[in-house]
Amino acid sequence: MYALAFGIGTINRKNEWLEVYYPRPVFKPAQALVDSIAAVTGYTGGNTDIVLDSALIYQLSLSVTDPEQQQLLQALKRSIKPMVLTLLDTDSALTSTPETYLKLHLLSHRYVMPNEQNLEGIYPLLPNVAWTDKGAIDLEELEERQLEERLAGRVLEVAAIDKFPKMTNYVVPKGIRIAHSARVRLGAHVGEGTTVMHEGFINFNAGTQGPNMIEGRVSQGVTIGSGTDLGGSASTAGTLSGGGNIVISIGKDCLISANAGTGIPLGDRCTIEAGLYITPGTVVQIMDEDRNFLKLVKARELAGQSEMLFLRNSQSGVIECRTNRRAIELNPALHSHN
């Protein structure tokens, strides 16, 4: 069994799931837990969602012996919202909205790293909804709900129209700081010790190993190694950018300076100077340790290498790659968030 979870969700008037909150997902559960659930639900295998009513919740609370899940089931007895049990026998392509939300939770709970699980089919299974102070609302039902609130003397606050909610309404991993919670999507992997400043952004299926300073954009599919600083307005090219399929990763103790960025993977202890964006086709002049010219290459030939310093020669305008003799070091006092 890959994963399972009991969830509380929202459905629209067509009885379609809009979102699901899984408080305590179980990654690679013990067979005893799976068996106790199967004894009540009749589960025989495969990836499936089982809608739960109060009677089924009660029976499960008697059958399940896992302390954390039993405690959760006791709490679910009080729910007035729709409830679901999602079981993922294998890490295969997604087939439902509850399955999709469970895999996003697994990322944000740090059970898996970005690109470690199958997210094929994700976009059609995530409905575009209004994220409001009253929860997720189907866009076809939004106007009516807005009118209801106005007639009651209130304003329905619509924070976003999107497929992805913000992570912190579902998961708050320990040991992090996020200055603007709307800029980290559910499905982000935020490693312990990570600080995400006000203009920082972490997409789903992307993230940090921690500790990290994120003041720029971590695009879908990108992983940032520990000790790396992504400077103000710096960016990383995601696997969706331009329809590409290159997975970008940045190693440990790197510095992507303000307004800089990379479209190639980087190894450890690399630096890109402020304002310089390295794309796969960027022509780079390789210099030795004494700054003597060696050869011209396209940046894609340097992908994944360590100890690189990229800068633009202020006299010639040529982009150079030199040996990076210094690695950045994050201030540990800034990244202890417990």
CB 191 within 8 A of CB 113: no
Cα 327 versus chain centre, distance: 27
Cis status, amide bond into 165, omega within 30 of 0: no
* Catalytic residue list contains 149: no
Tell me which of 19, 99, 192, 215 is the catalytic residue. 215
β-pairing verdict for 213-214 and 229-230: parallel
With 0-12 CB in 10 A as exposed, 13-18 as middle and 19+ as buried, what is 56? middle
What are the strands of the beta sheet with 271-272, ordered from one edge?
A: 177-178, 195-196, 213-214, 229-230, 255-256, 271-272, 308-312, 319-323, 283-287, 293-298
Compute how many other C-beta atoms are within 10 angstroms of the C-beta atom of residue 28: 9
β-pairing verdict for 213-214 and 195-196: parallel
Compute how many other C-beta atoms are within 10 angstroms of the C-beta atom of residue 8: 19
> Could you please report the per-residue DSSP string of 45-88?
SSSEEEEE-HHHHHHHHHH---HHHHHHHHHHTT--S-EEEEEE
What ranges in the chain are assigned the alpha helix state H?
Answer: 31-41, 54-63, 67-76, 97-108, 122-125, 139-151
β-pairing verdict for 277-278 and 261-262: parallel
CA R_g for the chain: 23
Tokens of 278: 């390295």
Active site residue ranges: 215
